[in-house]
Structure 1
């Protein structure tokens, strides 16, 4: 995958050589690098298997080599399916053995507060050096005054859609309201081109669709006090009733069992017309123009655009996906792990990874809004602007442990899935309300 060329100061053999080359200790401090590292230590970093494979190749190859040269740390990058991360985290905490640093998605860190080391010194350094964190990144990585992780990046979701197919049914731009999308979706499904979405137990695509959908109707889990559960409302019931008809009339009904990969494959195979997703579908289609073709034999990437989830009577929202590097409390390599985090999150090193993402991920700090990666492809530019305008699970309350438990149990997703499968809307909402009450008890 093509990447923007950058000057890599970290190809030098160590922090001392970097200082000599770039102006001494002041230059090191300016880049966020510590002047001394824990030499000869192994650090195990557990991450998801990235939807931009080139980024994993970069981390396991070039970045790992640079880390050894610059810090003396031997880096072991392990990647697994994101849906398996939580079980690995739980197992590691229970056995007190496992990765030194684990990447967490959304508000997962809130679930493990007591098992995480304080990473405040590193997090504060990086945030101060890079324009400050987005609120969504800081909220999930802190409990009170304690940083329970170092914010890494934010993955936002937009609807990828086939421009020509929507134009064929009279929509030159993506529908802005649910009623308009229902109209368009009916016409597309009649042509064998349904909308594809998941209502299954999968970590990313399900919550990032159903939470903004709920909010767009004016529904919410709790009040701002973070205690009063208000899910069982007229707004929520109306959203469920509409969702049942929308699913039947516009969607690929197999989506009930989809995980975060199924919609990517369905879109790229030409069997669905639109799906809420990160930028990975477009990036993959662009990376392999000869492999992913339209029905007319043209490269599919030229026929893909992105749009926000439609607005409803309650507004228009998105659910950002903040990623956080959690320093595990059981790790015996605390200093080396912090040294690695300082190095990896510093601008020169993070820039290499950020560039490889090509717009799939936003930075956790605001400085990355100005990065040149956003000048490369206007089709990806809308992803840059998602982080400041999102809500987090648990709205209108904080995205705390209780809100994280609701996400992890897929209560909101299951509320809609149960109704889609035949449960009366009122019953599905009452079931979900009671489950949220239990989580917040």
Structure 2
């Protein structure tokens, strides 16, 4: 990454974007002196441990150094396991102290809206400068006209699969329907090459599989009014029955206990033939072509392709994962934190991080659809199209606090997990329906 000079930052970050702080921050930066508010100020940013390790290296190294040079702010960057983020958020809000900025996954910001600072000024400036936000990013980061966070990126899953293994069981292209997928999976499992999928309590891969799966059968949580729960439907029950058969016939049954790392390891070790995942499996195989090999001794990366989850009678969908930077209401460094957010979301700074992702993430704004990263590797290009064609948890209603509660409690995931473990399909649907009713009846 080329050094992000003050002059280039000011030129590219959007007209007036960094000048909103009182006292003329743009002029101060242009003069080469750190702004008074930021001198000796530390901003604490809590994030997940990225599935693309190179991006964490970049943030903790050059981005942190450039932040100090450009703004005078000392960035304290902390990364933890993503499944531990919510407990840290809860503890920080309850104690009234902690990181100034915390990365939220999916529609989590809706859970904490009352505890977050108004970020409308920063978010609006960035959106206007970079072609506008995708709806999936805007919806989870706003309550009415108020921005409760600044959208950072959009992740999402596609099925990574071993091309040669599917061809060997008669599927020269990836199965487009659930019946064809079941047929391929049955044959692959018989050869010791099952499909790998989680039905456990893990933030990413479990919802990213089971929500689109439910929608593809025509099932949904609520009506468009966001109040009427309709999960216990014929479509949902049929999806559960099929899921149980698919699991037993085609899947690695240990997936009930998997988190978001197990399927990566299983795929790269050659024990599963396909798994719904972000681009991290392919990126890791590409990074270490002599480490991850096929049974023939060739680089596994040459045998990996990506495809969308199969379609059903209800359609074909994905569940994008918007990531949002939440400015915490308890923070005593809100002015400096906003300065930092303006800087790190600006084109020159963000470009360095986005490039390091290699196609694992989409931008939160439409500007990044045109980035050269998408021309570098055709195997990763399908990830570019995740944000415009996704549904959010809570469909057909809004992705609000109630929908976020359903995700956080893993109600949809557990509906399928309970059936896989022996609960009759109709009882699993009734149980989940009742739990969703409780969530939607709770105070807003």
Do the two structures share a fold, i.e. TM-score over 0.5?
yes
* Counterparts in 2 of 1:246 and 1:25: CA distance versus 1, 3 Å: closer
Other structure's SS at 2:377 match: coil
Match of 1:51 in 2: 51
Partner of 1:180: 180
- Secondary structure in structure 2 of the residue aligned to 1:164: helix
1:364 aligns with 2:354: no
Distance in 2 (CA, whole Å) between partners of 1:360 and 1:368 is 13
Aligned to 1:328: 328
1:10-409 alignment runs, 5 A limit: 10=4, 12=5, 15=6, 18=7, 29-30=14-15, 32-34=17-19, 35=26, 36=28, 37=35, 38-409=38-409
Contact 1:33 1:346 in 2 (8 A): no
* Residues 1:413 and 1:123: Cα distance change in structure 2 (over 3 Å): same
State the secondary structure of the residue aligned to 1:313: coil
1:30 shift after superposition: 3.8
* Cα distance in 1 between the residues matched to 2:110 and 2:242: 32
C-alpha distance in 2, partners of 1:27/1:207? 37
Whole-angstrom CA distance in 1 between matches of 2:40 and 2:153: 28
What CA distance in whole angstroms lies between the structure 2 residues aligned with 1:82 and 1:385? 24
Task: Return the alpha-carbon distance in structure 1 between the equivalents of residues 360 and 139 of structure 2.
Answer: 22
Contact 2:14-2:125 at 8 Å conserved across structures: no
Change in Cα spacing, 1:331 to 1:295, as seen in structure 2 (3 Å) is same
Q: 1:333 to 1:270 in 2, by over 3 A?
A: same
CA distance in 1, matches of 2:234, 2:228: 16
Which TM-score applies when normalising by structure 2? Answer: 0.94
Q: CA deviation at 1:33?
A: 3.5
Distance 1:113 1:323 in 2: 15
CA shift for structure 1 position 156: 1.2
Structure 2 match to 1:434: 434
In structure 2, what is the equivalent of residue 3 of structure 1?
none
> For residues 31 and 202 of structure 1, what CA distance do their matches in structure 2 show?
41
Counterpart Cα distance in 2 of 1:437 and 1:283: 41
- 1:440 Cα shift? 0.3
Task: Return closer, same or farther for 1:415/1:54 CA change in 2, 3 Å cut-off.
Answer: same
4+ residue stretches of structure 1 with deviation over 4 A? Answer: 24-29
Alpha-carbon contact 1:102-1:328 (below 8 Å) kept: yes
CA distance in 2, matches of 1:199, 1:26: 47
Mean Cα deviation higher: 152-161 or 27-36: 27-36
Structure 2: 5+ residue runs without aligned partners? 20-25, 29-34
Aligned mates of 1:363, 1:438 — CA distance in 2: 35
Cα distance in 2, alignment partners of residues 201 and 385 from structure 1: 27
How far apart, in 1, do the equivalents of 2:224 and 2:242 lie? 26
Aligned partners of 2:202 and 2:422: how far apart in 1?
A: 21
- Alignment deviations for residues 356-396 of structure 1 (CA, whole Å, 9 cap, x no partner): 00000000000000000001000000000110000000000
Q: 1:192 to 1:27 in 2, by over 3 A?
A: closer
- Report the CA distance between 1:154 and its aligned residue: 0.3
Contact 1:32–1:347 (CA under 8 A) maintained in structure 2: no
CA contact (8 A) 1:40 1:73 kept: yes
Displacement after TM superposition at 1:282 (Å): 0.1
Q: State the SS of the aligned residue for 1:225.
A: coil
TM-score (norm 1): 0.95
1:170 Cα deviation after fit? 1.1
Q: Deviations over 1:181-218 (max 9, x none)?
A: 00000000000000000000000000000000000000
Q: CA–CA distance in 2 between the matches of 1:27 and 1:159?
A: 36
8 Å CA contact 2:355–2:373 kept in 1: the answer is yes
The answer to whether the Cα contact below 8 Å between 2:14 and 2:346 also exists between their aligned partners in 1 is no
Per-residue deviation, residues 239-292 of structure 1 (Å, max 9, x unmatched):
000000000000000000000000000000000000000000000000001110
SS of 2:230's equivalent in the other structure is: coil
CA deviations on 1:112-168 (whole Å, 9 max, x unpaired) are: 000000000000000000000000000000001110000000001000000000011
Distance 2:171 2:59 in 1: 41
CA distance in 1, matches of 2:11, 2:52: 35
Change (3 A) 1:114 1:238: same
Q: CA deviation at 1:231?
A: 0.2
| 1:172 CA displacement | 1.0
Paired with 1:187 and 1:153, the residues of 2 have a C-alpha distance of: 38
| Cα 1:438/1:86, change in 2 over 3 Å | same
1:392-418 per-residue CA deviation (whole Å, 9 max, x = no partner) reads 000000000000000000000000000
> Shift in Å at residue 7 of structure 1?
4.3
